Every structure is written in structure tokens, then in C-alpha cells.
Chains A and B, each alone.
Chain A
Amino acid sequence: MNDGKSVVYPYIPNSAPETKAQMLKDVAAESTEDFFEDVPERLRIKGMMNLPDPFPSEWALKKHVEGILAKNRTAAECLSFLGAGCWQHHVPAVCDEVNQRSEFLTAYAGEPYDDHGRFQALFEYTSMMGELLDMDVVNVPTYDGYQAAATALRMAARITDRQEVLVARTMCSGKLMKIRDYLKPDVELRLLDYNRLTGHLDLDALRSAISSNTAAVYFENPSYLGFIETAGNEISGLAHDFGALSVVSVNPITLGVLTPPARYGADLVCGDIQPLGMHMQFGGGQAGFIATRDEEKYVMEFPSRLFGITSTRVEGEYGFGDVAYERTSFAQREKGKEWVGTAAALWGITAGVYLALMGPKGMTEISDAILARARYAMLQLSKIGGIQTPIFQSPHFGEFVVNFDDTGKTVGEIHRALLQHGIFGGKDLSREFPELGESALYSITEIHSQEDIDRLAQELKEVVA
């Protein structure tokens, strides 16, 4: 990269000096400066930007980036019990094989003709999600579970033409921040307290808060804090009594064994598909879904793209396309529903591959396995003096709160000690839910073996002793 000499960049074919000169000649330009005549001189950058020296060879670049990444210690190298919205599951090799394909990885916004494969793959994804959720309408993924919940609540407000939602307080504080910011312009959010013993939504609080102004009642199942909300029917029933909608966020990997929310009255179901075949990627594998019944009133309030199946001019051939495109901001700018744009389509395709591989038996088995392993973990940890788990007297799925108050140590102290032994403890809840004391949210998936769980119990025992 000698200054003054021309450089040929492998990513830029026409950086070859001969071609560049020929093309300038073809368009009768002295230099590329001619093209920027509309950019006023005082707005021009003088000289080159001050950026780090590059690594022009692929080898040097690889060494540089790998050198930085080497400073990470991953969940694969250690033993991790972190979840809280991003979970360490096994990602089947075929999921990676498919989402690395250039045809999917580098496509964008083609027509249903040149991109038939993308439309079909995403239609199949929504179809399999529909079976898992027992609902007939599922969107092309939005950014993440946070956005899905925030949009579901705004949809509920539009559907009911009301401006207030009631939300169970047992939610991740970050997600609550997102929802608050998103609802701020149009919808008032009121928090509902929970039963300290069970974690469940306080039904008395719900009864006194709900009114004919309520657009939606929102809760999560399993809850962020791990317990399973068992009063879904009653909550949905109360919502419906007042003409409000029941909005439930669900972790899709639980639905091999847990009842889908549609069967306890949910009108809108949302969540994140990261558990279905996405690597954790430091939080880069999130994607949101929203599902409803097949009613025009609901469908027309989706901001997202909805892919539908249709016929073509050839008998028996399937075609695909956008359903009710006119409702979107692509068609109507600010008059559309919220907005639509690039989101997380590749993860939708990947989740489809995951569900196709797992099938009905796989989904049932993985739910059962997580349920059993988490129960075992709770059992083993609860035997340790000073540790209380689960702190809620409710059924749990794969996550549970562990309380360390009686150990006399803080979560921070305990987790720092675990880290010395190559273990990542669960998410520290002590600031997020101060009323739970020194507590942490531990996550178990199908990848945690008995040996892993026993090792955690053993190390914890030594740390708190």
C-alpha cells in the first residue's frame, strides 16, 4: 500500500487502473472528482480520513480479528447457566448449512419470482410456528422478542381502540424499558404486581386495575423469572370480560410439553425464536414472532410482512406473495401500520429448518428433557446449605431463581468465585428485582448433562461454604 501508487482491491473489480481509466474516458470525466460537483467544497473532507491502517491481505486481516476474538472466553469453553432471553441450545449442523448458503445469505428483496425459495422457506417457517402455537397467522420475523411484544401491544390498542395496557411486572427490566419507550406516544402502560409466594400475576391486582379502558393484559409463559403461569385461562377470561385482549409472550421451545397460549385464551402470542436453531452470538441471534387467529381485524393491524400461499397460472403450482401489502409502511409511508423493513428473515428460515429437523417427537423430547434436567438442577442446588431454589412455589420449565441470602455472600461474590472454576453463573437479579434479595436466574437446557449439573452443585457448595 505505497501512497501515491494505485492499489487494486480484491473486492472492487474496477479499481484496476486500466479499467478505471477506460471508464472515466467513456463517461467523459477527467477524474472521479467530476461526479461530486454538487458537494460544496466546504463540506468536503480534506485529505484522507483518520482510520487505523488496514490489513490488505486476507491472512493479515484474519490474524488481526482472530487476535481480538481470542480475548473472549466462550460459553462453549466454560460451563454456562446464563439464559434470560438468550439460551445455549444445540444448533443442528443442517441449520448452519442452510443459512450459510449464498443463495439465502446474500439475497435481499427480490420478487416472488426470482426469490421463490425465500418466500416458500418463510411460509414454511410460519406454517410450522402455526402448528407449534396452534394459531393460523404468524408474521415474517421482526427484530426480536422485545419488538414483538411491543408491537403486539400496540396492535392490541389499535384493535380495541383503547389506550391502556396492563403488564405483569415479572418481566425483564430491559424489555420493559423497550416496551415503555415504544408505547409512550399512544398507549399508557400499567404494571401489575405478582404474588410473592408463587410469582403468579396477582389476580386481585388485575381485577382492580382492569376496566373498559383496558386494551390488553400481557404476561409471559414461562415468566422471565422461570415459573409457569398456571392461571392463563382466568387471566384471559378476565381480559375478555372487559373487551380487552390477552397477549402472551411464550418461549417456543417449551411448546412440546406446555399448552400453547391460544388454548388458554390468548388473542395475540409473541416471543423470540432464538432457541430454535440460532447460536447465541452475543445476542445476535434474536428474532421476534407475532401470531394471531385468522381474522381480518387482527391481520390488518400487523406492521410486518405476511407471506401467503396462492396459485399461479399453471394448474397445481404454488406461488407466494405479500398478504394485504397495502397495510404496510412500504405502501403507505406514515399511514401504514407502524413500519416494516429489514429485520431478521434469515433467522426465520433457520428456525424453519430447526422445526423441520425436530418434528413432533423432537420438540416433545427436547421440552421434556429441559423440564427434567431443570428439575434435577433445582433439586441438587436446593440441597446446598444457604441456597434456596426455586424461590417460587410454582412449576418451572428450564429457568429458576436461586437465592443466596442465607449464605451471607452476594451473587457477585459467588459468581466471581464460580468463574475462577470456569463456570458462568446465572443472570444476577439483585438490582433488577431487589425484593428477591441476592438472587440469580439460572438456565438449564438440553445440553446440560447430569455431570455438568453435579459439577455446578459441587462448586457452589464449596463457594458458599
Chain B
Amino acid sequence: MTRQEPNELSTGKRRTALRHYHQARWNEPILFELSCAGQRGILVPEVEEGIRNAVGDARDSLPQSMRRRDPPKLPELSQPHVLRHYLRLSQENLGADLNIDVGQGTCTMKYSPKINDQLARSSKMADLHPLQDEETIQGILEIFYRFEQILKEISGMDRFTLQPAAGSAAIYTNASIIRAFHHARGDRARNEIITTIFSHPSNAACARTAGFDIITLYPDDDGYPNLAALRAAVSGRTAGLLITNPEDTGIFNPRIEEFVRVVHEAGGLCSYDQANANGILGITRAREAGFDLCHFNLHKTFSSPHGCGGPAVGATGVTRALARFLPVPVVDFDGNKYYLDYDRPESIGKIGPFYGVAPVVLRSYAWVMALGARGLREVAEIAVLNNNYLLKKMLEIPGVSAPYAKGKRRIEQVRYSWEGLTQATGVHSEQIGLRAADFGVHYWTSHHPYVVPEPCTLEPTESYSKDDLDEYAAILAHVAAEAERDPELVSTAPHNSTVHTIDHEPLDDPARWAMTWRAYLKKHRRERMP
């Protein structure tokens, strides 16, 4: 046990004690193993005698070929056992509410106010069908409309759709709109999208899915997007630029207007991936930099909880010139009532069913309405202050560096490098992250490819206190010291997690991978399904 004994690090006036942490470990079986024949978790309302008498055995209406003969082989469990199982699994999951979640850079892990969850769960929201008569959905349409006005002010854009169900769906929507814009002018030669390596991989992937060829720009020596490379890349084939700013390094591109101008002069459109907007709310906007499109992740910047990876919304904004291409319907107000406008002949169509993930929109609206313009500005300022504070703490740890933009401040996150530590100890960034998990925090490296060697990306949003940041830095300093002293301790981590080191090889082997329990039984227990 002495191996895991926490130490204490001096952090200013207060001393930061690391926690004696161990994650819950229930050794919880797979649900199917808990099955007990005959048990029931919930009962279905019984069909009334009147109905049974009128229709007889309704299955008789089905041809034999369409009647399932064997019931699905689902587990059989009582209600308390289903609940207990899932509560145990929940304890084996480290939600943002439970930890200092600054280690998931690019994802803007912030506090999701509970009042907003409560409002989103109310029957007045939960029990609305999307196709109800407009007269009965004036409340929710008003929320959509009001929130669009808010986003217009925050971005300077003229129209928004809230239909895309996440950031990547928004990027895809942007790419579809760019295509529609060029095609509407009869220009079908523009088949290239330019992006940067420090913009989210979906900028490349979604644009490719939308049919474009991708040109990826690498940064200049100082880590800034390379203007000369952009000039060399644009041509009559350029459909548009998809770019993040600040990029995932936390560096703001001061020449962003020039980037936009170069692409415009070549006849392309510019789309602003605002996944990293948290540090610039109320500071700078898409409009002033000349962008034609932009999108915000409401599950990141606007506080809607991440839900283990959705549901989410990628709110997409465009200039007046592009509004006609937005997905249908848009929400409008005629001075008297709110309504859904489908009469948009040049629309790219639908991106998803209905109008977007309404409870996410509702939470985001409530979040803005709790803070106002001054509060949003405070969000940005504190997020950036927190980041620069953590940057200072991190750079005090031997073996850590913050590549690029030497001596400059950063916006809302930093992509650090442990290259120095790796060279000294042989311990890699991933392993540092897994050891950090032993102290009850998340940690993430970077998207692929690792342009920054041995990367880690920290984004301490406005939700974390000075003490939180001190603790996080103390954990990483402690792990770095362990790497020097006892590299094996770090490279064999985690030691205090729910599970031990996972065997990854079967997951890449078609003969052994198993994505369902039934496949696992067939492949690993040689059980034949009847």
C-alpha cells in the first residue's frame, strides 16, 4: 500500500493533499448472467376484455412468416435488481459532477446546472410530440426562437438552425450548405475543403463525407495556422475553409481576418468551428472576422450535460446570403405567434428528424438566461484566467512543456507535451493519464495524429476553483515524480480503478472481437445459440 500513499505538495499558502482514492469495484456481472427465469422488471397495461372480445387474437392478422416464434432472449430480472445493477455501473463511471474534469481538453467540461435538468425533465417539455398543432407548442417554439436571437448576438450571424444533433452533424451541415451555395451559382468545380490539423478531426471527416477533397494545413514554427500554406492551397477548386479559433492548442490565430480574406478572394466560403468558443464569449465574434458560417456545441460551451456522448446539439449559424440553404423548418415569429417555416425551396433539406434535440436547447437557453451578457463575458474571462493559472502550474512540473507561441498567454486550453519526461523516464503520456485516474481524475492526450509529441490537452473551464486547479496540478506533479522514481508504477497503472489493464488485442481481431454478449458466448465460450 505504500506504493499508493499520497503525498502533499505545497501550493502557495495552502497545502494540497492528494486523495486516498479508489474507484468503486463491484465486479458486476453482465446482465445476462444475472437473469433469473420468470422474474419481471415491469408489467405492461393489460388489454381490456372489450378489446380482446372485439379483435380476438390479434396475431391472427399476421402471416406465419411475420410472426416471431421465440421470444427475444433478453435477461429476466426483477425491478430492484435492474436498478441495483445500473446504480453499480453508475458508480463505476466518473461523471464530470464528481471530479475536477479539466483533463478532457477540447470538450469544455463545465458545470451543468441542475435547475436546467429539472426544467428539461418537466412534463411540459418531456411530453411534447414534435408534430403537434403549432397552437399547442407555442412555449417550446418561443424557446427555440429566443435562443436563436441569443446566438445571433453572440456570433453576429443572421440565421441559425438548431437541427444538427451534435458538433460533427453541424460541420456536415456547413459542408452541405457550402456545396449548395456553389451549385446554386452553377459552380461545380469547387471540390476542395481546407482545414487545419489543430481543428477537430470531424472538420476533415465530415467534409469528406459530404464529397469534398481535403487539404490539411500544418502550423508554422510558432504554432499559428500557416498563412503562406493557405495562400498556396487556395485555387478555383476551393469550396471553403473549415477552421477552429482558438485552435485545439489554445492559441488564437491573430491573422484570422486574412485567412478569411484569402479564401473569399479565391471564391470560397469560410466556416468557423466554434467548439472552442468558451474563452471568447463576449470577446470576439464570427461576424467581425468575416465568416460565412459557424457552429456552437450546446453540450459544451452552453452547459448541456455531455450524457456519456450525447444527446447534443450543433447550433449552426449563417449570414443572410446563406440563410436560404438552411435545413427545414426554421422557427419564425409573425408578431403574434411562433411557427415552423417549411417554405424554403433552396434548403438543403433535413439533417435529422424534426427540429433538433429540444431539451438540450432548453437547457442552453436557461443557462444563458441565468448569466446574461455580463455573465457570459465572466465565463470567458474566468475560463481563460483558469487556463493561464494552470499553465503556470504545469510548467513548474519537470518534463512538461507547452509547445508553440513561446512566452505568450493562451486562451481556454493548452496542448502540453511530456516529451521531456518521456525522454528522461520512458513513461508515455497515456500512462501518465492512467496513473492520474488512480487519484480520481480524467486525463486525455489529443486527437490523432499526435502532432505535439506525448500530448495532453487540459481545458479548465470557468467551473473549477483555484483549489481544484491546484489539486489537478499536484496530481500530475506527483505522477511525474513517480515516473522519475518508479516508472513501472506509472506504466502499469491504473491501480485504483474499477478494472485492471485491459487486453486490447482481441478488440482488433475479427476472430475474437465480440460486440454483443451472444457473439462473446459463441467465440469465447463455444456456446451455440439455438
Contacts and interface: CB of A to CB of B under 8 A. Distances in A.
Interface residues of B, number: 214
B210 interface: yes
B508 A323 contact: yes
B221 interface: no
Contacts of A264: 65
A349 B149 CA distance: 34
B311 A358 contact: no
Contacts of A258: 62, 66-68
Interface stretch (A160-168, A208-216, A372-380): A372-380
Contact of B72 (A49, A98, A255, A396): A255
A368 B371 CA distance: 50
Nearest to A363: B72
A76 B127 contact: yes
Contacts of A100: 117, 121
Most chain A CB inside 10 Å of its own CB: which residue of B50, B62, B465, B516? B516
A338 B172 CA distance: 10
Contacts of B375: 7, 9, 12, 54, 56
Which 4 pairs from chain A and chain B are nearest by CB? A185-B211, A283-B354, A54-B372, A117-B93
A284 B45 CA distance: 25
A385 B447 CA distance: 64
Contact of A120 (B92, B133, B353, B444): B92
B348 to A, nearest CB: 6
Nearest to A441: B131
A34 B124 contact: no
A179 B362 CA distance: 28
Interface string B427-456: 000000110010000101001100000000
Interface residues of A, number: 213
Interface stretch (B135-143, B233-241, B315-323, B416-424): B135-143
Contacts of A330: 201, 447-448
Given A113-B437, A143-B169, A330-B447, A308 B95 contact: no
Given A61-B369, A424-B129, A147 B378 contact: no
Contacts of B312: 342-344
A395 B65 contact: no
Contacts of A356: 31, 41, 74-75, 77, 82, 85-86
A74 to B, nearest CB: 4
Given A54-B368, A103-B98, A147-B165, 6 more contacts: A48-B373, A51-B376, A52-B146, A71-B142, A106-B98, A310-B506
A419 B135 contact: yes
B514 A309 contact: yes
A375 B306 contact: no
B285 interface: yes
B95 A71 contact: no
A465 interface: no
Contacts of A296: 510
A199 interface: no
Given A54-B372, A363-B72, A73 B136 contact: yes
Nearest to A96: B121
A210 B328 CA distance: 32
Given A43-B288, A321-B507, A356-B82, A113 B75 contact: no
A400 to B, nearest CB: 12
Contacts of B458: none
Interface string A142-158: 01111100000000000
A435 interface: no
B10 interface: no
Contacts of A197: none
Contacts of A108: 96, 101, 104, 107, 109, 306, 308-309
B355 A282 contact: yes
Contact of A342 (B309, B392, B468): B309
A357 interface: yes
B463 interface: yes
Interface string B39-73: 11111111110111011001101110111100111
Contact of A13 (B357, B358, B465, B517): B465
Interface in A361-397: 361-366, 368-369, 371-373, 375-376, 379, 395-396
B384 A32 contact: yes
B498 A116 contact: yes
Contact of B42 (A26, A39, A343, A357): A357
A130 interface: yes
B369 A64 contact: yes
Contact of B373 (A50, A104, A143, A294): A50
A82 B207 CA distance: 36
A312 B506 CA distance: 11
Contacts of B254: 38-40
Interface stretch (A170-178, A238-246, A401-409): A170-178
A218 interface: no
Contacts of A71: 138-139, 142
B518 interface: yes
A102 B504 CA distance: 29
Contacts of A34: 409
Interface string B355-399: 111111010011011111111111101101110110110000000
Interface string B140-157: 101100100010011000
A238 to B, nearest CB: 16
B305 interface: yes
A413 interface: no
A61 B502 contact: no
Interface stretch (B22-30, B261-269, B480-488): B22-30
B97 interface: yes
Interface string B88-124: 1111111111100100100101111101011111111
Contacts of A64: 369
A430 interface: no
A195 interface: no
Contact of B58 (A51, A185, A255, A368): A368
A205 interface: no
A329 B202 contact: yes
A127 to B, nearest CB: 4
A343 B310 contact: yes
Contacts of B349: 177-178, 180-181
Contacts of B123: 74, 76
A140 B308 CA distance: 11
27 contacts: A1-B372, A40-B254, A44-B284, A49-B282, A56-B375, A69-B122, A69-B124, A72-B128, A72-B139, A74-B128, A75-B129, A105-B95, A106-B305, A113-B499, A116-B92, A116-B499, A178-B351, A256-B72, A287-B310, A307-B515, A318-B499, A339-B205, A346-B308, A356-B82, A359-B76, A359-B77, A362-B42
